[in-house]
Amino acid sequence: MARCRLNRPPLNLLDPALLGAIRTCFEDLAREASVRAAIITGAGRAFTAGMNVRVLHDLDVARAKGLITQVHEAIHAVHEAPFPVIAEVNGACLGAGFELAMACDLRVAADTASFGLPEVRVGVPSVVEAALLPLLVGPGRAAEILLCGTAVPAAQALAWGLVNRVAPAARLQETTDELVHRILECAPAAVRLQKELMIRWRKTDLATAIQLGIDAFAGAYATGEPQEGARALLDKRPPDWSAGAGRAAR
């Protein structure tokens, strides 16, 4: 399991250098078959409060397009990671930082965290991975967040399905680790197959999604994990996923 920390406290404001580091980090992790999950969090009192306004101040049309493309490329590397990614939201999660959290598969928030897309309050729309918001909370709630630019507190985010868990700040890492442990208990190859399906489901129609699932189910039997999982269930013991992989390799 990898833990990635945005380390520009207190607010971890995003700029081209930090965006490049996020992209590089997740592209590198994606090439490591041993990585089974990743957590991304922030140092200090914020997950990230979004883009550094100093970067935005003097943009023209061409440079604005280049910057927002770089934002997308960094967040896309997180969104397309071949392993589950969990956002551990330790504080303010705003603008592009909120989009980064939405690109993760799961979100765990401190009870003091807040989420918002305040871009309309400073003259631009929320874009790129903000498009994920209606899928998470529904079109009506998404419209309220996008059009009002006001922040959503952690408790409301939980009620709206925007986050999976809320915990006191002192127990945030423990709560995140408990969720990750549940993932790590599962069959490693099956989790990767499931994540691949989740990515592909976002981009296709229902009939194609179902066929992709049929192919993935059948392909899982080449890993040896389904055989080991069934044996373990029948033997009333925990599965040994390394044994399943070993049998598949022979």
Residue with tokens 């440079």: 63
**CA dihedral sign, ordered 162, 163, 167, 171:** negative
Integer CA distances (angstroms), 44 to 8, 68, 91, 112, 183, in order: 8, 25, 8, 13, 27
CA atoms within 13 A on the CB side of 217: 6
Query: Crossing angle, helix 61-79 and helix 96-103, to 10 degrees?
Result: 30
Tell me the three state secondary structure of residue 6: strand
Return the structure tokens found at 231: 């044996």
Catalytically annotated residues: 99, 119
